[in-house]
Structure 1
Amino acid sequence: MVYEIALLPVHKEQIEQFRRAFEDVVPLLKRAEGYGGHMLAQGIETPELFNLIVRWRSLEDHTPGFEASEDHRVFMMGLEEYFSEEPKVYHIEGAAFSS
């Protein structure tokens, strides 16, 4: 299992608009091959920084899979106007959370 972690810096004055825009484009993410769930979390100390964590079956499902798709292009077009700078994305490998 692979987790994509995307750090999404949003203009402070556009946080609520970003949340609505994300809900509009999330169906594109959910239908991607290998998608296994996601979480969008707003920073507590830095509320203008969102963390998007997406579980993928494999790295290839995300890169090149979803990232090379038309759905990804539309997904990003729906969000890019809200970013205060370029998002940072990285991947980690691991199992589900344990309790």
Structure 2
Amino acid sequence: MALWEIVRITVSEGKQDEFASVVRSYLPLLKEDSGCLDVKMFRAVDKEGAILLCVQWESLEHHTEVFTKTEGFIKFAGAMAPFFTEPPEAFHANAVIDGF
């Protein structure tokens, strides 16, 4: 069953556009991964630097046991890390309500 990886990220003040650009540049890498189904990124409009990165995975195992062991993951994580003002908080979730 597909699930979402939800990552709460706080980015340095004034760096949100640059961070979004970095994440956007790695979308082809995620799209090429057979277990990655979708990506969404939300940027807070009322809290400076607050971002939610949501990645839909085919399964928990594909994310935690396959993708996180790839060279692509290492590059992606390394490119994002300099923007963090604190360690990201991540968890995995299933949709319980999906619209009306």
The verdict on a shared fold, with TM-score over 0.5 as the criterion, is: yes
- Aligned partner letter, 1:11: S
Aligned pairs (5 A) from 1:1-99 = 1-94=2-95, 97-99=98-100
Give, in whole Å, the separation in 2 of the partners of 1:33 and 1:96: 25
Give, in whole Å, the separation in 1 of the partners of 2:75 and 2:28: 11
Q: CA RMSD, aligned part only? A: 1.6
The runs of at least 4 aligned residues of structure 1 exceeding 4 Å deviation read none
- Aligned partner letter, 2:45: I
Unaligned runs of at least 5 residues, structure 2: none
Give, in whole Å, the separation in 2 of the partners of 1:28 and 1:66: 11
Contact 1:9–1:84, Cα closer than 8 Å, also in 2: yes
- Aligned partner letter, 2:81: E
- Aligned partner letter, 1:82: F
TM-score by length of 2: 0.88
Structure 1 residue 47: Cα displacement? 3.4
Q: How many residues align?
A: 99
- Aligned partner letter, 2:42: A
Unaligned runs of at least 5 residues, structure 1: none
Listed one character per residue, the Cα deviations across residues 22-78 of structure 1 (whole Å, up to 9, x for unaligned) are: 111222222223111010010122130110111111101111111111110000111
- Aligned partner letter, 1:65: V
